[in-house]
Structure 1
Amino acid sequence: MTHDIDLSGVFPAMCTPFDEAERIDFETLQEETRRLEAAGVDGLVPVGSTGESATLSHDEHIQVVEAVIDAVDDVPVVAGAGSNNTREALELSERAADAGADALLLISPYYNKPEQQGLIDHYETIADAVDLPQIVYNVPSRTGRSIDADTAVSLASHENIAGYKAASGDLGLIGEIAERTRDEEFAVLSGDDALTLPAISVGGTGAISVAANVEPKRTCAMVGAALEGDYARAQELHHELGPLFRELFVETNPIPAKEAMEIRGYGPARLRSPLTRLSEEHRDHLEAVLADLETESPALADGGPEGNR
């Protein structure tokens, strides 16, 4: 297929809200979908790592995707659909496609640590079978194995593999993949909020962002400015957001993100076991950072690009 989705800009990695009985809170999920779209994001990514996909059943997984699709107006929905089992990832991908997802985000197989050829076989199996744009997701801190540059470049030649989510913390790797796929229809998206601006500077196209759940307008403004080449404004917004970027990863994601959402009144901080609530010390720091972000932002007030929409 020819990719009919623009994978540049800001794509919040959405949280999955739970009620007191740890059931999915679909009403809040759809309210969040509408809030983020109204804030100017370029797409939405439910049931990734931030969406606690590892604690959802397959049926719940697809129900979340369907609920987000039902609530959006005109932004694409990129459904998380990865697994460490190729057959399972393929099944989830097919079900997400049937539900109406616009694209797929596929974490590399975790725990079993395949070799690079195994990663290629895994991704090509899904890309051959599911006719949707697919984003390869590299997060070695969770999977135990990094997708190297040669593998990413090889996968970029597949007509259904449309992008690479970079969450390795390795800016050199990000830059090399962006450089070597310049002639492909291939997006390189930051998966580390603190590295989004530098990633764009070496050829990245935007971010699948945790921080955008909490500060969507600032995040969109930062990414939009960088993509337009206004690095002075982008840098100012990056520095405004820097304390939040750090606080959102003081404990395992999405623990701090959900706490921030609750502080802002966007949704409950409930998590499914084995994740736990943010520690009191870290919550105090997070509250202070969020309070500082409530003050007027000269860089945000300047206007200019706020994403790609």
Structure 2
Amino acid sequence: MWTGVIPAVTTKFNADGSLDHAEMERCFGLQMEAGCDGLIVCGSLGEGPMLSQDERIAVLQRAQAVAQGKPVLMTVSEAGTREACALAEKAAKAGASGLMVVPSPIYHTDPAETVETLRAVAQAGDLPVMIYSNRVAYRVDVTPEIMEELAADSRFVAIKESSDDIRRTTEIINRLGDRYAVLTGVDNLAFEALAVGACGWVAGLVCAFPDETVAIYRLMKAGRYDEALAIYRWFRPLLDLDVSTYLVQNIKLAEALAIGSTETVRAPRRPLTGQRRAEVEAIVRAAIAARATLPAAA
């Protein structure tokens, strides 16, 4: 159902902290112009948790307005199952294409609790679900065994695989075949995951560099691995910025430098300053300076 490059887009704010709808529309539109295959809003490691549920619905609707009929998924990552189900219901009423669901971002659920939570949210929203498996960030591992237990429910259609172990993609496919669409959720493992069978990439630095991200994916799918690898090697220092406590600030700084966007974040985050900012800015500027012409028909 969901394949290709699906950006986990950043949320844009005005200086007073309100949602910047115009800038979101512009930036989301750039993703569509580059050929991305959908959008995921209100990311769980991004600023989704800093938004009210009503604000999240507003961001969803802004993305829908520019998505050109491509899927727009709402991230569901709530501390309580009750609240997660409420957001799933609101997203469904607002016309979301599906949900990306974190089973438990605060309490570390055991396998039985993980299954129960995911089933409850899927039932509440009654939409297709991408299971977000990220044991590094959340210490809850949605294992292939759990995926198999959930497989009887057709609402579970995809996995955002973020275990940080490239072997996991192969393990899922070996165990479950094509039952789930497996999308990599780790920017600096994207080439490797696509090489072993992932059908998509939930991407972060795509927000600042959409053309290069789409080019890598399309070249990989065309079997043009050497060309994809050349871009990926150029991209790696940027992609590493996504694997950081400061990924939101990193990506927003990259967006400011690459596409002229804003860096405003919602507290408790603050924009990058000092040595950390200098280091990130140097990486981004070096990448922009070394940008190569992309292959034809990528």
- Between the aligned partners of 1:304 and 1:153, the Cα distance in structure 2 is 38
Is the 2:49–2:77 contact (alpha carbons within 8 Å) kept by the matching residues of 1? no
Q: Secondary structure at the match of 1:273?
A: coil
How far does the alpha carbon of each residue in 1:106-140 deviate from its partner, in whole angstroms, 9 at most, with x for none?
A: 11212211111111111112223433211000122
Which residue of structure 2 aligns with residue 288 of structure 1? 282
Structure 1 position 107 matched with structure 2 position 67? no
Is the 2:183–2:201 contact (alpha carbons within 8 Å) kept by the matching residues of 1? yes
Which residue of structure 1 aligns with residue 297 of structure 2? 304
- Between the aligned partners of 1:109 and 1:248, the Cα distance in structure 2 is 21
- Between the aligned partners of 1:156 and 1:252, the Cα distance in structure 2 is 35
Alpha-carbon deviation of 1:11?
A: 0.6
Is the 1:44–1:78 contact (alpha carbons within 8 Å) kept by the matching residues of 2? yes
One-letter amino acid of the counterpart of residue 116, structure 2:
D
Alpha-carbon deviation of 1:291?
A: 2.7
Alpha-carbon deviation of 1:50?
A: 5.1
One-letter amino acid of the counterpart of residue 219, structure 1:
T
Which residue of structure 2 aligns with residue 43 of structure 1? 38
- Between the aligned partners of 1:271 and 1:68, the Cα distance in structure 2 is 19
One-letter amino acid of the counterpart of residue 34, structure 1:
G
- Between the aligned partners of 1:51 and 1:188, the Cα distance in structure 2 is 21
Is the 2:5–2:38 contact (alpha carbons within 8 Å) kept by the matching residues of 1? yes
- Between the aligned partners of 2:290 and 2:234, the Cα distance in structure 1 is 11
In structure 2, runs of 5+ residues without a counterpart are none
Which residue of structure 1 aligns with residue 223 of structure 2? 229
Structure 2 counterpart of 1:83, from 68, 74, 78: 78
Which residue of structure 2 aligns with residue 152 of structure 1? 147
How far does the alpha carbon of each residue in 1:173-230 deviate from its partner, in whole angstroms, 9 at most, with x for none?
A: 222112222142x111111101111111222111111011011111111111112222
- Between the aligned partners of 1:12 and 1:269, the Cα distance in structure 2 is 18
One-letter amino acid of the counterpart of residue 36, structure 1:
Q
Residues 127-206 of structure 1 aligned to structure 2 (within 5 Å) = 127-184=122-179, 186-206=180-200
One-letter amino acid of the counterpart of residue 210, structure 1:
G
Is the 1:127–1:158 contact (alpha carbons within 8 Å) kept by the matching residues of 2? no
Alpha-carbon deviation of 1:150?
A: 0.5
Distance 1:162 1:207, change over 3 A: same
One-letter amino acid of the counterpart of residue 167, structure 2:
G
One-letter amino acid of the counterpart of residue 226, structure 2:
A
Aligned residue pair count: 298
Among all aligned residue pairs of Structure 1 and Structure 2, give the percentage whose two residues are the same amino acid: 26
Distance 1:99 1:109, change over 3 A: same
Is the 1:250–1:282 contact (alpha carbons within 8 Å) kept by the matching residues of 2? no
Q: TM-score, normalised by structure 1?
A: 0.90
Q: TM-score, normalised by structure 2?
A: 0.93
How far does the alpha carbon of each residue in 1:245-281 deviate from its partner, in whole angstroms, 9 at most, with x for none?
A: 1234354221211111122244221111111222332
How far does the alpha carbon of each residue in 1:69-93 deviate from its partner, in whole angstroms, 9 at most, with x for none?
A: 1232232111112323212111111
Structure 2 counterpart of 1:93, from 84, 88, 93: 88
Q: Secondary structure at the match of 2:55?
A: helix
Q: Secondary structure at the match of 2:132?
A: strand
Distance 1:249 1:283, change over 3 A: farther
Moved more, 146-155 or 279-288: 279-288
In structure 1, runs of 5+ residues without a counterpart are 1-5
Alpha-carbon deviation of 1:66?
A: 1.1
CA RMSD between the two structures: 1.8
Is the 2:252–2:263 contact (alpha carbons within 8 Å) kept by the matching residues of 1? yes
One-letter amino acid of the counterpart of residue 301, structure 1:
L
Structure 1 counterpart of 2:239, from 236, 245, 257: 245
Alpha-carbon deviation of 1:304?
A: 3.1
Moved more, 18-27 or 66-75: 66-75
- Between the aligned partners of 2:163 and 2:262, the Cα distance in structure 1 is 29
Is the 2:77–2:105 contact (alpha carbons within 8 Å) kept by the matching residues of 1? no
Q: Secondary structure at the match of 2:40?
A: coil
Is the 2:74–2:91 contact (alpha carbons within 8 Å) kept by the matching residues of 1? yes
Is the 2:48–2:56 contact (alpha carbons within 8 Å) kept by the matching residues of 1? yes
Moved more, 246-255 or 205-214: 246-255
